[in-house]
Amino acid sequence: MSRVRKGVYRPSVHLERARAAIERIGGDPEAFVRSHVRQLEALRRACHAERIEADHWRVPADLPERGQAYDLEWFSVDVNRNSKGVPKGAQIRFGLL
């Protein structure tokens, strides 16, 4: 996650620091930072990040490793149990396992 300092991510600080660079390439800085917050919301639901308040997130130091492990679990397919190729995470979420 970009702009994490000592385990804390602040969208307002990220926006302030990224605004010029993103506008220079014709992008939308607010949308860019919102995309990070959406990712953090997903990570929060998976118990990998904690929202303290709207502009203050606690992010573990091993977040990249956690994200990779989560992706491997979610997108793995158990070919012995499912010949349709539905990711394992979706099978669990929708009660297919």
Domain boundaries, the chain: 1-60, 62-97
Residue 36, pLDDT score: 92
Residue 44 is which amino acid?
R
**What is the mean pLDDT for each group of 10 consecutive residues in the chain (97 residues)?**
76 94 95 93 89 92 83 66 60 65
Instruction: Strands of 10-62 (E only): list them.
Output: 50-53, 56-58
Residue 83, pLDDT score: 46
Residue 3 is which amino acid?
R
Residue 74 phi/psi, 5-degree rounding, is -65, -45
Please, what is the angle between helix 29-45 and helix 63-75, to 10°?
Answer: 70
DSSP state at residue 94: T
Residue 56, pLDDT score: 94
Enter the pTM of the model: 0.66
Residue 84, pLDDT score: 59
DSSP state at residue 19: H
